[in-house]
Structure 1
């Protein structure tokens, strides 16, 4: 939960007006709520979550945070992670993150290529052997 901050991810989060936390219930149905996300070292903290979100995390701790693009043609930030909670505070440890831009001119089935950029989530001191 703590540790040196992941500066790039934290900085990127501040550029988005909205963030949605997506969990799934026991029947694999999505549950989407608005969230205020606060970087906390290499984790992301969401305070004041509801009981449905916490029940879903009990069943499946895999979650997604989605920051929609601030304007047409801009990138979305999508963060996958593993969640846990204490009280009504959820902590998400990111496992993958991508800046994604949809290109309506891209042929069907073609991958993002230059439109998308995966973010490194490896702490700088963990990258060296």
Structure 2
């Protein structure tokens, strides 16, 4: 189940997720690394991207940031975007963001007709 996050509210949503992972395409398999990030002017900024990100992003800029829930049963924040290297930083222009979690068997159906508390994506 997913709930769309308005990109204007993304900075506030980040404050509820203390950990972030950068997912990017690798040479033979996807690559995942824990990162620190913040927002500046509507752009997600990673101050110290790793070697793989520096090598891969110029040719394959589509990335995903996964921010796990801070509490059990909470929503993970998933942000898709386009990354660019700017000096020593990696900048990610967010294109889409959702709060996501697996359906819970003990939740009632929602008013939208979805199981549990999901929201249809438009």
- Structure 1 and Structure 2 fold alike (TM over 0.5): yes
2:21 aligned residue: 20
Structure with greater proportional helix content:
1
Secondary structure of 1:58's aligned partner: coil
Residues 49-99 of structure 1, C-alpha deviations (whole Å, 9 max, x = no match): 112111111221000000001122110000000000023310000111001
Residue 87 of structure 2 is aligned to residue 114 of structure 1: no
2:94 aligned residue: 94
Distance in 2 separating the partners of 1:57 and 1:116 = 32
Cα offset, 1:116, TM superposition: 5.0
Structure 1 vs Structure 2 CA RMSD? 2.2
TM-score (norm 2): 0.77
Cα offset, 1:117, TM superposition: 7.5
2:10 aligned residue: 9
1:60 aligned residue: 60
Structure number with higher relative contact order (C-alpha < 8 Å, ≥ 6 residues apart): 2
Q: Give the aligned length.
A: 108
Q: Which runs of 5+ in 1 are unaligned?
A: 1-5, 119-129
